[in-house]
Each structure stands twice: as C-alpha cells, then as structure tokens.
Amino acid sequence: MSTSGFSLFLAVLHLMGFLFPLRVSAIRKDIGFLEERSCRTTVQGRYLISDDEGNVCDALSLESRTRCCPWKGERFSCHGCNLLSQCCNSYEFCVSCCLNPSRTLLEKVVKVKVAKPDTAGTYKSVFDFCAGRCRHNSESVVHENAYHSEFHHCFSLTSNASGANLTQVETRLLGIDVIVGSQGDSCDAVCKSRGQLCVMNKLSLLNQCDVMKRYMTCKGSCLASAGADQPAEVVEDAPRDLYPGACLYTRTQSMLSCDGSHQQTRRLCPCA
C-alpha cells in the first residue's frame, strides 16, 4: 500500500469513529450511579433495631446517614424464634424473620387489615406488616393481660374465616356432628366411640381459627402449626413450649388426617 493510500485508510477509520460513536459506547452497560442505600427501621426496642432489609443490629451501630444496619451477620435471622408457630421471644428478630420473602409474601399481606373494623386500611408493605404484626397482639395473650408464652411476638397470618364465610362453613357442615375429642385421641377414635365415621373432606372446614373458637376455648390464641392432629387444641397442662390452651391449625392441607393424634392435644372432628 502506498503512503497516500495508507493515509487515506487512516482518514476513513478516523471518520468512522466520529460517525459511529454509539456502537462503541453501547458496549458499556455497567456505567452508572449506585442508588444510595436508605432504610426504614423499627423503633420499639431499647437496644436492638431491625431494618427493612432484614438485618438486626444494636442501636449504636446503626448507620446515621442511611438509617440501615451494617451489612454483616445473617439477614432474615430467626434467632429466638419458633418457626413452627412463627413466634419469637424478641420483637426485632421477629421482624427480621418475618421479612424473609420465603415466609411472607407481599401479595398476601397487602390484603390484611391493620385493625379489625371493616373501615380499617390494609398494610402497604411487608415491612409495615411485620413491624405491626410482631407487636404484642390478642393472639399472644391469655385473658387479655398475660402472655401465654415468652414467644409472644408472632407474625403468622391467621385463618381468613369470618363473617359471611362462617355462614358458608356452617352450611357445608349440615349433617356433620362437630365433636371435641379427648386428649390424645384421633378423629377416627373420637367418631368411632359415637358409632360414627370421621368425614375426611370436612376437616378443611374446621381448620380455621374462627371455626375452632366456636367449639374450643383457645384462650384467645390461634397459631399456625404443622401436624396430622390439627385442627386441635393444646391441653392446658401441656409443657409450656407447646403453648398450653392454644388452638392449632395447619397451613398444609395435605397433612389433614382422620387418624392423626398427639398426646398433648384434643382434636376437633367432623363425624357422621
């Protein structure tokens, strides 16, 4: 190539650099500014704080500019929590545990009312739900003024049976005798003692807090649990960590069983 030809070639390359700059710059997709971290936090504890990212830290280590806990330790920690009942002995760890997306879904909590009146609004975010739900509530007390357990910060969603739905449940239970069994008995045994059979497909109707409270005392407490003996009520002389007097329902419908039993519970049974 001659000197003039090479110069012309360089000129063309130079011109292409001006004509097509976007092709070069478009390859870089990692250029930008990071969003500044900012958190909402709990305010209830004297020593510990939980932020809306699921971290727990002591109040002194909270970052003053971002209001976030430092990125260290375990996110969504369930320290001091009973994952079966979804209750904790610490408010801050209750909030942290509740914020785990695998335990609490936004599409469910935004349908939950902040208070009982029909005019009450619903929670706007998972953090609002967890921070509100983990405070002491009617489900964690006995006779309105005493906790039934040290694990009195609970975030479980109660059953949605109420109002018109209860009427529908009663209609679907026509012809069914709802019986509270003796301690340790299965529903098969409870119904057999009456010359009847347990109606398996009716157990799901009884597996709701409002329904159980019509037949059992529940001591103001109804907790999500997991066991083939549910729906059931824990006997009052049961060990403290089993929540004496509480009603238990299961979120796993496939676990409902006529032959399930537990030595510390009394079952609620559909007999016919």
Instruction: For residue range 127-180, list pLDDT tens digits in order.
Output: 999 999 888 654 444 434 444 456 778 887 754 444 446 667 777 888 889 999
> In this structure, what token pair is assigned to residue 236?
């009052």
> In this structure, what token pair is assigned to residue 119?
């005019």
Whether 69 contacts 57, CB under 8 Å: yes
pLDDT at 112: 83
DSSP codes of every residue in 22-69: HHHHTT----S-PPPP---B----SSEEEBTTS-EEEGGGS-TTT---
pLDDT at 225: 86
Q: What is the CB neighbour count within 10 angstroms for residue 115?
A: 9
pLDDT at 31: 45
pLDDT mean across residues, the chain = 80
Task: Say yes or no to pLDDT of 216 above 80.
Answer: yes
What predicted TM-score, i.e. pTM, was given to this entire model? 0.48
Alpha helices for 193-240 (secondary structure H): 203-206, 209-215
pLDDT band at 81 (very low <50, low <70, confident <90, very high): confident
Is the pLDDT higher at 117 or at 86?
86
Task: Say yes or no to pLDDT of 69 above 50.
Answer: yes
Give the integer Cα–Cα distance in Å for 104 and 95: 11
